[in-house]
Structure 1
Amino acid sequence: MAREMPESMELPLSWADSGQSVLKLNIRHLWLCGVWPLPGSWIFEVYGALGLVLGVWNAIESTLALYFCWGDMDESTMVFISTFSIGCGTVKMAFFMCNRRQYYALARSVEMLVSLQSEFCSADPALADIRQGSQRRTSRLTIGLLLLMLSQYPVWFPMPLIARPDERRLPFAQHGWDNNTNFYELSYVVQCVIGAWTTQISNSVDLLFVSIMILTAAQLQILTIRIASLKREDIEVKLEKGISCVADQTDNSCSDKMYGKLCQCIESHQKILRFVKHLEKTMSSIVMTQFSFSVLVTCVSLFQATYSTELGSVLKCICFLPVPAGQIYLYCWSAHNITEQAEAVTLAAYSCSWLKASHRFKRALRILMSRAQKPLVLTAAHLYPMNREAFVSLVNASYSYYALLGQMTK
């Protein structure tokens, strides 16, 4: 779908454009993290490249730390947790920066999607409430989860200074080659900056896609109400005819009106389906990355919280456990809502007044129902479905790996 779009759709957004977007919070937070230029300059590019360099530096530092602490299960698992979490943000940042044009097009497509049924929302307060409610939900979810992530930093960053004040400990990977003696203060600050930067990028990218899926599900919900409301319009016409034949309200004109409104619904449905395919193609690689890293982080965090003898490590892992599990759940929950709303289109079509409608109305309605019966399932890398069952299976996978680590430890 991205190739069918005009080139103007893939141009960078300006600061003013982002301010008018329903994804304003997500876009500007990504800009703050150095990922989404508004528009961009060489200084911004250097700023973004610095984030990638720090991510690579963390991978090298963690590899060396694992080499020197190998055999110490408590120390090794803590390094794995930080490495997987920071590595996930770094990989997402690389994917995002390599495919910026797709994200520009996606942001503009979201604006077109939200305005797709604005005419009907303006005429019906119930539809307007659904649209506005979805926008409020995305804003609250974005702010709430970013604040939740910020609440992790006071637990992880100063914990070495609180739990072991007499030792020169670093927040994540320890420098076993020099016993944290060289450049200790600089290393401490760099690890804190890397951890905060990459985790904010990781969560912001997730929230961008989750917000888009929430808005898409709302558009499908609006569409189902529009289709079902054809019944009410037909009843009103019948009541008018029962009293008198007002104006030029004949059977043919009534049928033409219903058929025209059904065609509008079908057109909206087709546009939403095309947008969902575009969304899946854009976010597929990032979702698969998140699923993979979240399973690993959840497994190792649970293991560390269970078997560690250090209170500080246990506290950090317990506080951090909801984050990777929550990231998986948000994707599965929002994608599952799209699937459910897409399935509801068939029921809405069956609920409208089709019994005494014209033949072409019934024919068009059958086509709509046939297409709506095909499950609209978003996938990760076109391999793994995103739904509530997938969330349960991923959690089970994390627990299986955790049980395996426990057996190995014993």
Structure 2
Amino acid sequence: MMSGGIWMLDESKRSLAFVIFYRFYSMAFPVYCASMATSLAIEIPNLISESSTAVMENVARALVVAIVVTKLVMCKKKRIVDLFEAASKQFAEIAGNADPEIIKILQQHVEYWKKILLVLVVPVIFGYLLLCEMGIENTIRFDWLSKPPNVSLNAPLPSNFWYPFDKNAYHHWLLLDQCLRVGGITTGMNSVAAMINSLMVFMRLQIKLLQHHFRNFDKYGGGPEDLRWCDGGGTSKLRLLCRRHQELIAYVEKFNEALKYIILLEYTSSSIMFAGAIFQIVSGEKVVFAFFFMVFNYAQLMTFSWNCNEILTESAELATALFESDWYLSNPETKTLILIMMVRSQRPLILTVGPFGSMTLEAGMSRLKIGYSYASVMATSSE
């Protein structure tokens, strides 16, 4: 997230020079990425007479880049920074706990988060390195090619960018420029995906901890500091846990309000890129690179949908966790409170895609179907 210019926390622990540099970088990075969309869009009229496929590719790429830049700008809103600040404080509290069961739950989620990062990052790295390798290989062939007399050939470049000068004269520098731009936009995509998934994994961690506390509400030791030495036995601790549940519900509502449009754009861009990758594979252009790009977009959509589905199902299990406690040994007041909490837990926590409903595995598959339909339309149009 720091590489994408959207990490705004812990500035007090950094030097003044680093803070100034990073603030400048966080403003300059989206502008640099936006220049890629501008170059792609300006080049579209020059491609109309050459290839309809190249035109559609440039339109799709320019649209995706514009969406990514919009997401990078939106990720710097105060509401999102506040979400991370709250998550950081609670994570520090959980990490300092002495309960071995809580530490085990925390470690499981840390390992789970590392696996998600691998799923998101590895296909992008391979695809990006392959694109750079293809550009370098084509450039070497162009340099050593025996050109027929009086024939003008255009230098091969990975993408159809517009430049205000002769591409053949500076094609080595243009290859470097395109590799840097593509690297920047892929970094931006990964940064936003990592940010969203990290908050989702944190919410899942909070739900799992609540399940643990619900099962053991009548036992002392462990848990947050304000739950260890509460007076009144299990009833008092249960009231505090009820408050924690309400805080988690409020956190999910803030998440939906702050990120609903970012997630909508994330789904939209992933669907378009997934469709573009399928179209390239079908048309036989840059098949290996398109395959890695398709895997990345599939992984991005599925990690979002999977984490949202986990939050929905695990939050519904809070009632089961209460039932698995020793509720039958409690006094009537505690039993009444347990019933109230079980009724509220029947309403699961739901993350939404803007105004278009909840994010689930079914919703993720529907986006993939939309992307496939879009690819079919592009293939038909090109024919």
Structure 1 stretch displaced more, 47-56 or 384-393? 47-56
1:189 partnered with 2:176? yes
Question: 2: CA distance between counterparts of 1:172 and 1:82?
Answer: 10
Q: Distance in 1 between matches of 2:123 and 2:280?
A: 21
Distance 2:190 2:56 in 1: 22
Q: Which sections of structure 2, spanning at least 5 residues, go unmatched? A: 12-17, 143-153, 221-230
**Residue pair 2:94, 2:102 contacting (<8 A) in 1 also:** no
Check 1:116–1:175 CA distance in 2 against 1; reply closer, same or farther (3 A cut): closer
- Between the aligned partners of 1:48 and 1:187, the Cα distance in structure 2 is 24
**Distance change (3 Å), C-alpha of 1:126 and 1:265:** same
Residue 280 of structure 1 corresponds to which residue in structure 2? 256
Q: Could you tell me whether the CA contact under 8 Å between 1:35 and 1:48 is conserved in 2?
A: yes
**Which moved further from structure 2: 376-385 or 31-40?**
31-40
Return the offset for 1:218.
1.8
1:110 aligns with 2:87: yes
Pairing partner for 1:149 from 121, 124, 131: 124
Q: Which deviates further from its counterpart, 87-96 or 196-205?
A: 87-96
Question: Which residue of 282, 296, 300 maps to 1:323?
Answer: 296
- Structure 2 CA distance for aligned equivalents of residues 328 and 204 of structure 1: 15
Instruction: Give the CA deviation at 1:394.
Output: 0.6
Q: C-alpha deviations, 1:183-225, integer Å up to 9, x for none?
A: 4333322222111112112211211221221122122112112
Q: Distance in 2 between matches of 1:397 and 1:111?
A: 36
The C-alpha deviation readout for 1:235-261, integer Å capped at 9, x for no partner, is xxxxxxxxxxxxxxxxxxxx9422123
* C-alpha distance in 2 between matches for 1:161 and 1:368: 62
Alignment-derived partner of residue 402 in structure 1:
375
Measure the CA separation in 1 of the matches of 2:270 and 2:120: 16
The farther-off stretch of 385-394 and 179-188 is 179-188
Aligned letter for 1:126?
E
Q: How far did residue 144 of structure 1 move?
A: 5.8
> Is residue 2:67 matched to residue 1:91?
no
2:28 maps to 1:57: no
Alignment-derived partner of residue 54 in structure 2: 75
Amino acid across the alignment from 1:74: T
The secondary structure found in structure 1 opposite 2:350 is: coil
Which residue identity lines up with residue 240 of structure 2 in the other structure? Q
Determine whether 1:36 maps to 2:12. no
Deviation at 1:177, TM superposition (A): 8.6
C-alpha spacing 1:315/1:77, structure 2 compared with 1 (3 Å) = farther
The offset of 1:285, in angstroms, is 2.0
In 1, Cα distance between equivalents of 2:296 and 2:64 = 10
Q: Distance in 2 between matches of 1:183 and 1:285?
A: 40
Compute the TM-score of the two structures, normalised by the length of structure 1. 0.77
Cα distance in 1 for residues equivalent to 2:119 and 2:370: 28
Rounded Cα–Cα distance in structure 2 between residues aligned with 1:116 and 1:268: 14
Counterparts of 2:288 and 2:271, CA distance in 1? 20
Q: Which residue of 1 aligns with 2:185?
A: 198
Q: 1:330-363: per-residue Cα shift (whole Å, max 9, x none)?
A: 1111111111111000112223333453221122
List aligned pairs for 1:365-380, cutoff 5 A. Answer: 365-380=338-353
Q: Structure 2 length as normaliser, TM-score?
A: 0.82
104-113 vs 290-299, greater mean Cα deviation: 104-113
Residue number among 321, 324, 341 corresponding to 2:314 in the alignment: 341
75-84 vs 260-269, which deviates more?
75-84
Structure 2: how far apart are the matches of 1:175 and 1:257? 71
Structure 2: how far apart are the matches of 1:70 and 1:301? 21
CA deviation string 1:82-126 (max 9, x = no partner): 4344333312222124x1x3333222200233356668x523x22
Contact 2:352 2:359 (C-alpha < 8 Å) held by counterparts: yes
- Counterpart Cα distance in 2 of 1:76 and 1:198: 20
Q: CA 1:302–1:112 in 2, change beyond 3 Å: closer, same or farther? A: same
1:160 counterpart residue number: 135
Give distance in 2, aligned partners of 1:90 and 1:262.
45
The answer to whether the Cα contact below 8 Å between 1:158 and 1:171 also exists between their aligned partners in 2 is: no
Residue 53 of structure 1, CA deviation? 2.5
Deviation of 1:60 (Å): 1.9
Give the match's secondary structure for 1:168. coil
- Whether contact under 8 Å (1:227, 1:352) holds in the other structure is yes
Is the CA contact (8 Å cut-off) linking 1:86 and 1:198 kept in structure 2? Answer: yes
Per the TM alignment, residue 371 of structure 1 is displaced from its structure 2 partner at its CA by 1.4
Q: Is the 8 A contact 1:131 1:215 kept in 2?
A: no
Please tell me whether the aligned partners of residues 79 and 173 of structure 1 are also in contact (alpha carbons under 8 angstroms).
Answer: yes
Q: What's the CA shift string for 1:117-175, capped at 9, x where partnerless?
A: 668x523x222201122123324533663344222222112313425722512221244
Match of 2:239?
A: 263
CA RMSD of aligned residues (A): 2.8
CA shift in 2, pair 1:271/1:117, >3 Å = farther
Stretch moving more, 37-46 or 355-364 = 37-46
Preserved CA contact (<8 Å) 1:146 1:200:
no
